[in-house]
Amino acid sequence: MLKENGFLFDVTLCVGCGSCYQACKETNNLPQTNQDFLKDHLSDNTFTVVEQYGEVFTRKLCMHCNEPACVSVCLVGALKKSPTGAVVYDADKCIGCRYCLQACPHNIPRYEWGSTNPRVRKCNLCNDRVNSGLLPACVEACPMEATLYGNMEKLIEVAKKRLKDNPEKYYQHIYGLEEAGGGHVLVISPVPFEQLGYVTQLPKEPMPELTMRAMEKIPSVVMVGGAFLSGMYWLTKRKNQVAKEEQTINGK
């Protein structure tokens, strides 16, 4: 059985120190993009950000969907769901159509617009670190244990328990559990999620379903269409022949 891991981020525990932001930059060898990390935004050199909304801080990063839109739309399979649960990118396969940027319901992937051989850039849940037995860099760096890394089932349990034990402290919703079919990054917060800049108007079903409903009709379109056209070809040809014969008979 696959052991799928993910994040649980608790807004109530985050103090906005920016350790996760710095650790992400260091482990991915990304250059500094802003003096003040709270004013930074996701870019081809920033895979996670800490944002301040009044009194509270929250993180933005790839949600590592269960059925990712980006993976389903990538025509060459450069984006893949890894067995660990992370959505990972292979630049060597990528042709650069940017459909992943267009399709992502959370608006996460970023592109290296300044490069002549650009890559799609986003969090990959530290897939290499995880595969060599380490924790993701941001989790290791967090002094408050605001971001937990672990088995998805356990994380969901923890999140539900926190909501249940402290109903007055939390807004009763786990963001990322059902949005767009759910993913491997869960967020719990004291305030509604639209106040934290998350996309909340998402369907509960996975986004690729919307495309599949149209795509699954293709075989029948081809078969019915092919049969119809062949039939019409034969039928109208026959009709022309009959008309021609009638004409020659009438002519005589």
Binding site for other proteins (CB under 8 A): 43, 69, 72-78, 93-99, 101-103, 105, 107, 109-118, 199, 201-203, 207-208, 210-215, 218, 221-222, 225-226, 229-230, 232-233, 236-237, 239-240, 243-244, 247
Side-chain half-sphere CA neighbours of 163 within 13 A: 18
Please identify, using beta-carbon distances, which residue of 81 and 162 lies nearer to other proteins. 81
Strand extents, DSSP E, 48-115: 49-53, 56-60, 79-81, 87-89, 110-111
Residue 210: CB minimum distance to other proteins, A = 5
Strand extents, DSSP E, the chain: 5-10, 49-53, 56-60, 79-81, 87-89, 110-111, 120-121, 147-151, 185-188
Residue 110: CB minimum distance to other proteins, A = 5
Residue 67: CB minimum distance to other proteins, A = 10
Please identify, using beta-carbon distances, which residue of 76 and 134 lies nearer to other proteins. 76
Distance in angstroms (rounded) separating the CA atoms of residues 148 and 166: 18
Please identify, using beta-carbon distances, which residue of 23 and 24 lies nearer to other proteins. 24
Q: What are phi and psi of 228, to 5 degrees?
A: -60, -45
Please identify, using beta-carbon distances, which residue of 17 and 202 lies nearer to other proteins. 202
Return the structure tokens found at 46: 């920033």
Q: Are 131 and 84 in contact (CB under 8 A)?
A: yes
Please identify, using beta-carbon distances, which residue of 116 and 132 lies nearer to other proteins. 116
Residue 163: CB minimum distance to other proteins, A = 26
